[in-house]
Chain A
Amino acid sequence: MGDTPPRSADAGTGASRVITDHARPAGASARPAEDVPTSRTPGGGALGGGGGLPRRRAFGAERAFRGLTLAAGTAVLVVIVAIAVFLVAKAVPALRANTVSFWTFEGWFPNDPEPRFGIGALAFGTVLSAVLALLVAVPVALGIALYLSHYAPRRLGNALGFLIDLLAAVPSVVFGLWGRDYFSGPVADLSAWLNRYFGWLPLFGGDGPYGASMLLGALVLAIMVLPIITSLSREVFRQTPTANEEAALALGATRWEMIRTAVLPYGRPGVIAAVMLGLGRALGETIALALTLGITFNISFNIIDNGGNTIAANIANAFGEANDTGRGALIASGLMLFAITLIVNITARAIIHRRREFTESAA
């Protein structure tokens, strides 16, 4: 709502700023007259006079600078490829040494003389914790995003949005510490209660002890991804064309109907992308889960008994006593995580990209 006026006002100041800033570069541009020949001498020899257009620059600064930036751009691609290559290089020997199936074995004993380790339970735990976290976080995050963009007074919305952005910056180890030292108590109580009244569901079965469970890990994770999903979706919701919103309201829609017919359809791709990014973050989260999960290696849908483990948390926990094969095994599991997050992220980016094209062509 009313997003356009400040933006256009900003653009105005930007334009006026252009002029004031221009004074300096313009002054600087007087300098090339004396600058250019010196920079050209090594490449093109003495041109003298210097009245003409600078033509000779086969090896000039322009080339060099362009080459420099090209190298920096290539470095990004090199890093991505290098990540994959080095992880594979270190993982393969460990996978060769593995005496059981990497995919199905439930356990992690890579440091034994006969290494045995499997990714199955870890991958399952990673996906389960991330999905549970998103199930909790997404509805709440969308609620907050809508509240901030369409319900709260504008000033309050901006201030709270700022606060949410700050929370996104809080390091994960802090959330992990909070989850382990404080939040595990209430969650244990909740688990006991769930077990007592809903124990007939496999999710809440078992007989304790409760506390350091998948539920705790997933809830802490949910609190961590909440700010990310909120701030991205809020941004999308705020970009809804005011004309659409006003048209809906003018036709007699209630506020909710306006949101449902104008805001949500417009924001859907953005929200999907935000959720995918949150998913990527949840899948890769390490320290918070290493601190809150009770480390076990089994595939179980029981989310309230002590236990649960994820790929990333296992790396953090098992790294200390890992020998050479152990490190290779952890790197192999990291490679799996890399592959999973890569798929999630590429999907998210593809969705965002499609949306970008869509909005640009619509505008």
Chain B
Amino acid sequence: MSTLTTPSPRAVDLRARRLPGYAPIGIAAAALALAAAAVYGGGIGGPVLVVVLGAVLYLAGLYAASNAVEGRRAARNRTWSALIHSAFVLAVLPLASVVWTLVSKGAERLDGNFFGTSMNNIGARDPNGGAYHAIVGTLEQVGIATLITVPLGILCAIYVVEYGRGRFAFAIRFFVDVMTGIPSIVSGLFVLAFWVLIVSPVFNDGRPGFSGFAAALALSVLMLPTIVRSTEEMLRLVPAPLREGAYALGVPKWKTILRVVLPTALPGIVTGVMLAIARAAGETAPVLLVAGGGAAINLNPFENNQSSLALFVYQQAGDASRYAPARAWTAALTLVALVLILTVAAKLLARRNQLSR
């Protein structure tokens, strides 16, 4: 601690066991200076390369200095510690950039017109136009998907936790796990093949019909495993004495589940449902395949094309109009706000849930 050093490890005659606190800073400065000299001297790059090369030199220098002073084990410890910290910085940069771009570009069209109008009759030269139809579509599709999935998912979880025994229950659990990993585009293709191309022509004069309901079906396929998994975990956390108490009072099993187990696990189940909704609201691919997208407001989810916020972002991103990017970014901001509000609310709810881990 009390040893005298200069920043450069070469010039140091150290006998102490630890590097002084300012040594890493000195090594960093030296590494950056060396990197700058090399990069600009050789003319091989810009400031980014200086930082990258500087980081590499810093790690090497730190290892060398620490190795010389403190020994190999401490040197490794320091180097890995520095690497782990730099991994963190490396990851924060792009994520911060995403957030910054989103907010700065998304604020451009954040006005009443955007939320009050659709893209109907908006040509390439019209600066306005909005996402009202897309917001309606997202809400309806996600709403219907939730109505389908929540009862199904909770009942499935009840079966797995309360009734299921042996191979069959194991198979269900396993395939719910596997289903979690189904790509969203595959679920879109499934509903395309099953609903749009085979079932919908039956009541659509023989023509395949895109609809918001088809998108809701595709979203349900994606939401189902998430809801089953989270409900399952919550049901398992309900203490056994609670169930046993109900049984001892003569309450039948089904009523115990409905009146005792489910209410106890409810906050956790709601959290899982909200996370599933948030994930479904952000899906683009299935909506693209089976709802078709549309420029006009379509309040009826069972007939004709419908858009959604995520699909709106994708379509505007591919639009040639010079006003399209601004619309895409504002819609993206709206979508992220919607998804994040749901997620944060779900996580806060989970934190208040007394059953949670």
Contacts and interface: CB of A to CB of B under 8 A. Distances in A.
Given A69-B162, A143-B83, A287-B284, A170 B101 contact: no
B105 interface: yes
Chain A binding surface, main DSSP class: helix
A363 interface: no
Interface in B194-224: 194, 197-198, 221, 224
16 contacts: A10-B354, A18-B242, A69-B156, A76-B176, A143-B84, A143-B91, A151-B81, A170-B339, A171-B335, A174-B282, A177-B328, A178-B102, A277-B181, A284-B181, A316-B288, A331-B193
B282 A89 contact: no
A69 B163 contact: yes
Interface in B72-113: 73-74, 76-77, 80-81, 83-88, 90-91, 94-95, 97-98, 101-102, 105
Contact-residue size bin, chain A (C-beta under 8 Å from the other chain)? 35 or more
A321 interface: no
B228 interface: yes
Contacts of B306: none
Interface stretch (B18-26, B125-133, B139-147, B249-257): B249-257
A77 interface: yes
Contacts of B185: 284, 286, 312, 315-316, 334, 337
A281 B181 contact: yes
B249 A29 contact: yes
A170 B341 CA distance: 11
A22 B212 CA distance: 43
Interface residues of B, number: 114
A175 interface: yes
Contact of A338 (B85, B183, B317, B343): B183
Interface in A190-248: 193, 197, 223, 226, 230
Given A76-B172, A182-B97, A166 B182 contact: no
A95 interface: no
B329 interface: yes
Contacts of A352: 177
Contacts of B239: 14-15, 18
Interface string A323-358: 000010011001001100110111011001100000
B95 A256 contact: no
A89 B84 contact: no
B87 A140 contact: yes
Contact of A7 (B278, B317, B357): B357
Interface stretch (A80-88, A96-104, A105-113): A80-88
A221 B151 CA distance: 34
A29 B343 contact: no
Contacts, number: 313
A25 B246 contact: yes
A327 B194 CA distance: 13
A123 interface: no
A73 B172 contact: yes
B30 interface: no
B14 interface: no
A77 B193 contact: no
Given A169-B339, A176-B317, A22 B245 contact: yes
B336 A171 contact: yes
Interface string A268-285: 000000000100110111
A174 B246 contact: no
Contacts of B236: none
Given A28-B259, A72-B152, A87-B190, 11 more contacts: A22-B242, A25-B242, A69-B155, A169-B343, A170-B339, A176-B314, A177-B328, A182-B97, A230-B91, A287-B314, A319-B289
B44 interface: yes
Contacts of A22: 242, 245
Given A170-B282, A284-B184, A83 B190 contact: yes
A80 B179 contact: yes
A286 B183 contact: yes
B6 interface: no
B187 interface: yes
Interface string B131-168: 00000000000000000000111011011101110001
A262 interface: no
Given A147-B88, A197-B44, A69 B172 contact: no
Interface in A14-44: 14-15, 17-18, 21-22, 24-26, 28-29, 32, 36
Contacts of B81: 151, 255-256
Given A173-B310, A174-B102, A256-B77, A312 B285 contact: yes
B108 to A, nearest CB: 12
B325 A181 contact: yes
A257 B259 CA distance: 51
A162 interface: yes
Given A177-B332, A338-B186, A79 B179 contact: yes
A284 B186 contact: yes
Contacts of A17: 354-355
A345 B181 contact: yes
A341 B182 contact: yes
